[in-house]
A and B are shown apart, each in its own frame.
Chain A
C-alpha cells in the first residue's frame, strides 16, 4: 500500500516539473539567442531603424536650416513632390538610368564571364583585368572618366575628331549627359557583376557539359539549355543588386555633372542630397527618400514575385 501511494503521488509531481523545466530552458535559450543578436540589433537600430523612423517623421514637417522641425504639414511634402516638374523629371531620369545601365551591364559581364570561364593559358590575367574595376573607388573612376569626356582634351572627342566627326559635349549636352553617366556606371559595375557571374559559371558541374558534348549539343544549345538556366539564381541576384545600386547612384553624378545640365542627370539620390544639404529643405528631402525606399521595395518585391518563377534552384 505505502509503496503504491508513493508512486501515485510522485507521478503528477514529476510531470509538473517537466513542464516548468522545459519552460525555463526555453526562456534561457531565448535570452541567450537575444544576447548573440544584441550587437547586430544595436548597430542596426542606431544606423538603420532610427534613421528610417526619423526620416518618415521628418517627411511630415517643415524644418529650419538646422534640420529641426518647425511646422507639421501632413502629406503636403508628398503632394508638393508629385506636382513638382523637377522631381518628376528626376524620377523619369532615374528609371531611364536604370534601363540604360542594368541590362547592358549584365549582358556585357555575362559575355566576359563566359569567355573568361574557358580553360585557356593566361586566363587568370584576363579575369584580373575584367574584375579590376571592382577595386576602383567611385571617385577615382569618375575623375578618370571626367578626363575621357573632356570636350577638348578628352580621348573620346579626340577619336571622334580623328575620324572626322564633330566633338560631343558629353557632360554638357542635355541629350548626352545621362548617357555619359550611364557609360561610366556600366564600366564601374562590370567588375562586381563579372566576378559574381564567373563564380556562378564555375559552380556549374562540368559533367553536365561533358554529357551534353556526348549527346551532340552545339555551343549555343548548351548556353541556352544548360548555362542560362543553371546560372539563373546568380543572374537573379545580380539583377536585383544592380537595380538597387542603380537607384542609389550618387557619387559619379556628384563628380561628373552635379545633376546638370538642365537637371537631366538629377537622379533621385542626388536630388535628395541637393534638397537637404543645399536647399536645407529636410522635410521635402525626407519625403523623397521615403518615396525612393518605397519604389525600391516595390521593384524588388515585383522581381521576387515574377522573376523568381524562372529561377531554377538546385
Chain B
C-alpha cells in the first residue's frame, strides 16, 4: 500500500531532448522521500507525472502494484500541495478545505467531522471564515496542508511547499510537516531545490540532475559517500572542498592543486597512481593544526564568525576552500594559520567521469568525536 514504483520512466517534450531519462525508483510505504536537484533538473516534472498532471512519455508507473499510467489524477488516491498553495482566492478557508470532499460528494456530516478534526490539528479553527488573502504566508501554507490532510489520501505529494516562506517560518514548518507525516503515516514525496530541507526532512533522498538520477540513499550516506562530484558539491553547506590531485607513487606523495603535499601511506591500493583525480574534503575535516599534527600552513582569505563556529576560507590553487572550526577563533584576513589535513578524510573521484573512487574513511568516526 502507498508504494510507488517507477520503471524506466522517461519524459520528453516534442520528441526533443529528454527531460527525464530512464528513472527507476521504488518508494516505500510510510516513507518521507525527497526529490532534490537544481532548477531544471526535472524533479517537479517527475512529481507531476506521479500526480498524473503530466503525461508519461515512456516507462511504467505503479501505485500499489497497479499500473496507473493511464489514470486521471483523481483516481490515483493522492493529495498534492503546490508551491504557491493553489488556494481558491474566492473561497473561505473552510470552503477551500472542503473543496475536494464536496467534489467527491462525501456525506455532509463526514465532511464536518473531518473539517473540525483537521482544523484543530492544523491550528486553523479560528481562521475558517477568512479568505486566503487575509492570511499570512504561514497560515496559507497550513491551509494547503490541511486540504491535503482532509482528503485522507495515503500518498501526499509536495512541490516545493516551503519556498515562499521566510527562513524562520521555513525551519518551523519543516518540523511541522515532518511530524504530521509521521503521525498520519503518510507516504510523502517531497520536491525541493534546497539541500538543507532534503537533509533534514527526508528518510531517503534522490538527487536529480539533468533528468538523471545521481544518487538515492539516506541523507547521511549522501553526505559521507557522495556517488559523484555533483552530489558531493550539491549536498552539504558549505559545499565539499574539491581540488585536482595527483598521487605520485615514487615520492609517496599526493599533490593537491600543485600546492598541497600530503604524505601517502604506501599501502593505499585503490587510488590510481600518477593520474589526475579529484579529491574532496568536507569543511569540518580541515582541522586547526596543533604543534604535533600540523600538516600545512595556509593564508586566510576570508573569515566568517558564526558565534558557535568559525568559517575560514583559503585559496587552494584555483579553488576556494572553506574550513569550519568549532568555537570562536580570533583570526583576521591575511593570517597564516596551521591546519591539519588527513588522508583518511579525503574522498577521491575520477576527474573525467566524476564518479566516486573511494569515500572518506574516517568520516563517521571523526564526526562523533567532533560533536
The answer to whether B100 and A213 have CB atoms under 8 Å apart is: no
Q: Out of A205, A214, A221, A230, which one reaches B84, CB within 8 Å?
A: A205
Chain A contacts with B in 272-314, Cβ cutoff 8 A: 312, 314
Contacts of A207 in B (CB 8 A): 82, 84, 86
B296 at the interface (CB under 8 A from A): no
Are A210's CB and B53's CB within 8 A?
Answer: yes
What residues of B have a CB within 8 angstroms of the CB of A230 in the complex?
Answer: 88-90
For B51, B99, B104, B147, the residue with the greatest tally of chain A CB atoms inside 10 Å of its CB is B99
Give which listed residue, A213, A226, A229, contacts B53 with CB less than 8 A.
A213
The 10 A-B residue pairs whose C-beta atoms are closest, nearest first, are: A215-B100, A216-B74, A312-B90, A217-B103, A207-B86, A211-B86, A229-B90, A213-B73, A214-B73, A216-B104
Q: Does the CB pair A214–B90 fall under 8 Å?
A: no
**A211 vs B78: C-alpha distance when bound (angstroms):** 11
Cβ–Cβ contact A215 & B74, under 8 A: yes
Please indicate the chain A residues that have their CB under 8 angstroms from the CB of B307 in the complex: none
Complex Cα spacing A208 to B91, Å: 12
A303 and B119 CA atoms in complex are apart in Å by 38
Query: Within B27-42, which residues are at the interface with A (CB < 8 Å)?
Result: none
Given A208-B86, A211-B82, are A217 and B133 also a contact pair (CB < 8 Å)?
Answer: no
Residues of B at the A interface (CB closer than 8 Å) are 51-53, 72-74, 78-80, 82, 84, 86, 88-91, 99-100, 103-104, 133, 147, 151
Given A225-B99, A230-B89, 18 more A-B residue pairs with CB atoms under 8 Å apart are A210-B51, A210-B53, A210-B86, A211-B80, A211-B86, A213-B73, A213-B74, A214-B51, A214-B52, A214-B53, A214-B74, A214-B79, A215-B104, A216-B103, A217-B100, A221-B103, A225-B88, A226-B88
Distance (Å) between the CB of B45 and the closest chain A CB?
13
What are the residues of chain A within 8 A of B89 when measuring CB–CB? 230, 312, 314
Residue of A216, A225, A226, A232 most packed against chain B (CB within 10 A): A216
Bound Cα distance A216, B80 (Å) = 12
User: Whose C-beta in chain B lies nearest to the C-beta of A312?
Assistant: B90
Can you spell out 10 A-B residue pairs with CB atoms less than 8 angstroms apart?
Answer: A205-B86, A207-B82, A211-B80, A211-B82, A213-B52, A213-B53, A214-B51, A214-B80, A221-B103, A312-B90
A contact face: mostly helix, strand, loop, or mixed: helix
A residues less than 8 Å from B103 (CB atoms): 212, 215-218, 221
Q: How far is the CA of A215 from the CA of B103 in the complex (A)?
A: 7
- Docked Cα-Cα span, A222 to B64, in Å, equals 28
Q: Mark A194-224, 1 if CB is under 8 A from B, else 0.
A: 0000000000010110111111111001000
- Chain A, residue nearest B148 (CB): A214
CB-defined contacts of B147 to chain A, threshold 8 Å: 211, 215
Q: Find the A residue at minimum CB distance from B83.
A: A207
Complexed CA–CA distance, A221 and B82 (Å): 21
Known: A214-B51, A314-B133. A208 touches B104 (CB 8 A): no
Nearest-CB residue, chain A, relative to B75 = A216
Complexed CA–CA distance, A308 and B151 (Å): 33
A210–B100 alpha-carbon span in the complex (Å): 12
Query: Which has the most chain B C-beta neighbours within 10 Å: A213, A214, A314?
Result: A214
Chain B residue, CB-CB nearest to A232 = B90
* Contact A215/B151 with A230-B90, A314-B133 known, Cβ cut-off 8 Å: yes
Smallest beta-carbon distance A82→chain B, Å: 44
Contacts of A221 in B (CB 8 A): 103
Give the chain A neighbours of B72 by CB distance below 8 A: 213
Evaluate contact between B86 and A216: CB separation under 8 angstroms.
no
Residues from chain B with Cβ under 8 Å of A218 in the complex: 103
Q: Which residues of the partner chain A approach B84 to less than 8 Å between Cβ atoms?
A: 205, 207
* Cβ–Cβ < 8 Å partners of A225 in chain B: 88, 91, 99
The CA-CA distance from A122 to B82 in the complex, in Å, is 30
Inter-chain contacts of A216 with B (CB < 8 A): 73-74, 100, 103-104
CA distance A226 to B96 in the complex (A): 11
Chain A residues, Cβ within 8 Å of B90: 229-230, 232, 312
In the bound assembly, the distance between CA atoms of A217 and B91 in angstroms comes to: 15
Q: How far is the CB of A113 from chain B (nearest CB, A)?
A: 19
Q: What sequence of 0s and 1s flags, for each residue 215-245 of chain A, a beta carbon within 8 Å of any chain B beta carbon? A: 1111001000110011010000000000000
Question: Residues of B contacting A217 with CB < 8 Å?
Answer: 74, 99-100, 103
- Bound-state CA distance A37–B151 (Å) is 56
CB distance from B131 to the nearest CB of A (A): 9
In the assembly, what is the distance between CA of A191 and CA of B314, in Å? 66
How distant is the Cα of A232 from the Cα of B89 in the complex, in angstroms? 12
In the complex, what residue of chain B is closest to A222 when comparing beta carbons?
A: B103
